[in-house]
């Protein structure tokens, strides 16, 4: 464990807490893409298959349980909770996210470390996570004004993978033959997708103005 990875995990955890706070405090999930939440639940469920087979550390297992349970809970809230589901921007959240799932499956079958059940599912989860934010970014552009907590949620979600890139660079130089080219490429694409959001987020922060994404 290095400081970059810890910072990344804490930022990721914080983004989940901010999202839970937004839904709980505002009793609303307006501005949140259910499709992105479903994709993240799928990412965690397919990546953490080893939760019950390989024990790496208490930290590792606890974080996996937290990410799986929070993502599933948010999807449940947005789909079935009588109060919350009514505030979901159903007619704005129209990204065809099953295409992202399909492309990730094809990529995972083509590019993986080893052709085993675990490795293909792991590669699938890495590719899917790289694009999982797209429905959320599209929804933000459509919904015009973005409430602070939603903006912070997306910001921290994007920042965490940037810390992971620093972690991979650090591990590349400190551990011999460490190569995670699948994670590197997908992580780079994932972080790049946030580029314009980061720009508008910085501008809104500098001008102390409401976050506005161009339509």
Our finding on whether 183 is near other proteins (CB under 8 A) is yes
Asked if 35 is part of the footprint of other proteins (rule: CB under 8 A), the reply reads: no
* CA–CA gap between residue 72 and residue 54 (Å, rounded): 22
C-beta of 122 vs 194, nearer to other proteins: 122
- Counting contacts by CB under 8 A, is residue 129 touching other proteins? no
DSSP state letters, 80-126: H-TTGGGGS-TTT----HHHHHHHHHHHHHHS-SSSSHHHHHHHHHH
Determine which residue in the list 178, 199, 202, 205 makes contact with other proteins, applying CB under 8 A.
Answer: 178
Nearer to other proteins, 88 or 122 (CB): 122
From 15-23, 49-57, 70-78, 93-101, give the range in contact with other proteins by CB under 8 A: 49-57
| Residue 97 contacts other proteins per CB under 8 A | no
Exactly one of 20, 64, 111, 200 binds other proteins (CB under 8 A); that residue is 64
Task: Please tell me the distance from the alpha carbon of residue 21 to that of residue 140, in angstroms, as a whole number.
Answer: 18
Single out the residue of 76, 180, 185, 200 in contact with other proteins (rule: CB under 8 A).
180
**Is 210 within 8 Å of 174 (Cβ atoms)?**
no
Give the nearer residue to other proteins in terms of CB position, either 80 or 115: 115
C-alpha to C-alpha distance for 177 and 118, rounded to whole angstroms: 22
Which runs of consecutive H residues, i.e. helices, occur in the chain? 3-26, 34-47, 58-80, 97-110, 117-131, 134-142, 148-174, 181-193, 195-206
Distance, in Å, from the CA atom of 160 to the CA atom of 34, rounded to the nearest integer, reads 20
Q: Is residue 50 a contact residue for other proteins (CB under 8 A)?
A: yes
Q: Which two structure tokens, joined as six digits, stand for 214?
A: 């161009």
Choosing from 177, 206, 208, 209, the residue that interacts with other proteins (CB under 8 A) is: 177
Q: Binding residues for other proteins, per CB under 8 A?
A: 5, 9, 12, 50, 54, 56, 60, 63-64, 67, 113-114, 119, 122, 164, 167, 177-183
């Amino acid at each position: 464990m290095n400081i970059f990875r810890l910072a990344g995990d804490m930022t990721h955890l914080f983004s989940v807490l901010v999202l839970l706070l937004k839904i709980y405090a505002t009793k609303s999930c307006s501005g949140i893409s259910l499709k992105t939440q479903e994709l993240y639940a799928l990412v965690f469920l397919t990546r953490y298959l080893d939760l019950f087979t390989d024990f790496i550390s208490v930290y590792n297992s606890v974080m996996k349980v937290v990410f799986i349970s929070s993502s599933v809970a948010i999807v449940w809230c947005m789909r079935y909770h009588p109060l919350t589901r009514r505030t979901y921007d159903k007619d704005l959240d129209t990204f065809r996210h099953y295409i992202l799932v399909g492309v990730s499956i094809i990529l995972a079958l083509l590019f993986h470390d080893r052709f085993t059940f675990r490795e293909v599912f792991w590669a699938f989860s890495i590719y899917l996570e790289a694009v999982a934010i797209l429905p959320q970014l599209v929804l933000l552009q459509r919904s015009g004004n973005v409430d602070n907590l939603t903006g912070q949620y997306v910001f921290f979600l994007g920042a965490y993978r940037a810390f992971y890139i620093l972690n991979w660079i650090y591990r590349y130089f400190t551990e011999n033959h460490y190569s995670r080219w699948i994670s590197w490429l997908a992580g780079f694409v994932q972080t790049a997708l946030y580029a314009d959001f980061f720009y508008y987020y910085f501008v809104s922060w500098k001008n102390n103005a409401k976050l506005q994404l161009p339509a």
